[in-house]
Structures are given as C-alpha cells and as structure tokens.
Amino acid sequence: MSSKLSFRIASVIMLLHTIGHTMGTLGWKKTTDATKQSVIDQMVSHRFPFMGANDSFADAMDGYGFIGIFDLAFVAFLLWVIPNTQNGNTNVGKWIAIVLGMKLIIASVFEYIYFFPLAFIMTATAGVLTLYGYSTFFKSK
C-alpha cells in the first residue's frame, strides 16, 4: 500500500468517526430506557457554578462533544493534506504526521478504557495507518 493511500484511508476513517461522534453528540439526550432518561433529566436540570459559569453536567457533556466533533474533523483534514507536503516543507509534514499518529494511538487507548470498541478500533486503525504512512512517505525525504 502506498503511503499516500494509507494517509487517505486514515482520513476517511476519521471522517466516519466524526460523523458517528456527531450523531452521538446530537442524540445522547434521547432514549427509550426510563432509567437512562432519569439520569439524563438530572444531568440537564441541575445547574451549579463552576469556573465562572453556571452550567449543568449536560452542558459540559455537550461542550465536550462539540469540541470533539471539530477535533476529529481537523484530524481528518490533516491526514488528507499530509501527503501534499511532498513538494513543500517536508519537515512540517514529518512533525505533523508523527505527532498526529501518536495522538491517535494515545486517544485510542482512552477510547478503549472509557468508551466503546468501535471508537477504539477506528482511532487505533487511523493511528497505525498514519504511522505507517509516516514511515514510508518520509523515509527518503
């Protein structure tokens, strides 16, 4: 597999992860399970002061979700453009690729611990493909 293809596949995987994360962020307050809905209602209805704001746990969860959407989309974008650095400053591309690959591997560990298998698999696969792309794309540059 070419290094450019590995970066592009990693980008598409992260774009799919972004779509799934967006659906989860926008729909987490909707459930047919009465116990879950009770917990969600408590998270939404109770507000408390924290660091200068008066928010609920649901507000914080929404905020983290929206930040995650943009983070995942930005990662997908970077993975798509890394191979285009070939004719430019390859040192920038090298640093972006290695740091991004390591970030994805570390994030996948947190997803494994705190979330669910599909998120872990998608991020870990994108991380491995990114590091593979790094190792082959920049080896002679």
Per-residue pLDDT of 27-50, as tens digits, reads 999 999 999 999 999 999 999 887
Q: Is residue 68 within 8 Å of 25, Cβ to Cβ? A: yes
Q: What is the pLDDT of residue 75?
A: 96
Q: What is the pLDDT of residue 108?
A: 94
Q: What is the pLDDT of residue 60?
A: 87
How far apart (Å, rounded) are the C-alpha atoms in residues 77 and 69?
A: 12
Q: Is residue 106 predicted with pLDDT exceeding 90?
A: yes
How far apart (Å, rounded) are the C-alpha atoms in residues 141 and 127?
A: 21
What SS3 string covers 63-79? HHHHHHHHHHHHHHHHH
Q: How confident is the model at residue 140 (pLDDT cuts 50, 70, 90)?
A: low
Task: Take residue 134 and report the two structure tokens written for it.
Answer: 């790094």
Q: Is residue 51 predicted with pLDDT exceeding 80?
A: no
